[in-house]
Amino acid sequence: MTNSIQNRYDFVLLFDVQDGNPNGDPDAGNLPRVDAETGKGLVTDVCLKRKIRNYVGLKHGENPPYEIYVKEKAILNQQHERAYVGIGEEALLKNDKKRKGGAKVEEARQWMCKNFYDVRTFGAVMSTGVNCGQVRGPVQITFARSLDPVVTLEHSITRMAVTTEKEAEKQDGDNRTMGRKFTIPYGLYQAHGFISAPLANQVGFSEEDLALLLESLQNMFEHDRSAARGLMATRKLVVFKHDSNMGNAPAHALFERVQVTLNEGVTAPRSFSDYSIQVNTAELPNGVSIL
């Protein structure tokens, strides 16, 4: 793809939450995710990707080339069928053997990359049912981990209503529904990301796509408000740009240049101002710059 990015990028993302649940675990009653050994909070990579997808979908109205493949209530094989219609091979959809292999799969794969932002960004396995191949995405994001241990709080809440008449009869008209909400008082989280130029070239991930990704990382919490998530915000995004497509320095060595420390005298952080962030810009490796 001639319009794809020509540079490798690595980035550090810092975001925080106050009085909210940044990423509940459905297998644990929606408790905030926590590293059991250290007590530090976790936010999964798929949670962050979901917010990026939602931001892109809101901004561009789900129109190509910024449609979203993995979204609420999506039926993925129907999207695959659209690819074969789009490349003029609708007849293959009626032939199970042909649609599961052959030269047209690559054409369908390229159609999916061209039309769906999250396919050409994060990749996708599209070989289920109607076969559109697989895409190894150029952008990968790690789990986010809080800088310090977080405390999970449980709150009892009351709704002054019930769902059914039967519930009302049991309560003699009191009509209350009890529930629980889980929050953490405060947590500053750090995630890391990687953007591969060679993989971007395979799918057409462009400079415009990169700009949209960085914009999403900065603004994704602004359109993800919820009573359950409290105050969430991107606090800092540090992007390392390499002069070459393969990279000029190991990612871990660049990430170590971003140091986050708890201010002296603070034992229980409750705001972003309780931390200090320093980015070491001295003696950067040759061919690496900081955006």
pLDDT value at residue 96? 59
Which of these ranges, 3-17, 72-86, 112-126, 256-270, has the smallest mean pLDDT?
72-86
What's the burial of 227, exposed, middle or buried (CB within 10 Å: 0-12/13-18/19+)? Answer: exposed
Q: Note whether residue 168 is domain-resident.
A: no
Give the mean pLDDT of 4-29: 96
Domain count, the chain: 1
Per-residue pLDDT for 158 more than 90? Answer: no
Q: Which residue type does 98 have?
A: K
Burial 158-167 (b: 16+ CB within 10 A, else e): eeeebeeeee
Q: Note whether residue 222 is domain-resident.
A: yes
Q: Note whether residue 136 is domain-resident.
A: yes
Per-residue pLDDT for 184 more than 50? Answer: yes
Q: Note whether residue 124 is domain-resident.
A: yes
Which of these ranges, 107-121, 175-189, 253-267, has the smallest mean pLDDT?
175-189
Give the mean pLDDT of 216-238: 95
Distance (Å, whole) CA 119 – CA 135: 7
Mean pLDDT of the chain, nearest integer: 93
Residue 150: Cβ within 10 Å count: 25
CA dihedral for 224, 200, 210, 218, sign (positive or negative): positive
pLDDT value at residue 269? 97
pLDDT value at residue 99? 53
Q: Note whether residue 1 is domain-resident.
A: no
Q: Note whether residue 177 is domain-resident.
A: no
Listed in sequence order, the residues at least 6 apart from 198 whose beta carbon sits closer than 8 Å to its beta carbon are 245, 246
Give the mean pLDDT of 3-15: 97
Q: Cβ distance 249 to 242 under 8 Å?
A: yes
Distance (Å, whole) CA 167 – CA 234: 43
Residue 140 tokens read as 């990968």
Range of the domain at 213: 9-153+184-290
Dump pLDDT digits (tens) for 117-147. Answer: 999 999 999 988 889 999 999 999 999 999 9
Q: How confident is the model at residue 100 (pLDDT cuts 50, 70, 90)?
A: low
Q: Note whether residue 173 is domain-resident.
A: no
Q: Note whether residue 158 is domain-resident.
A: no
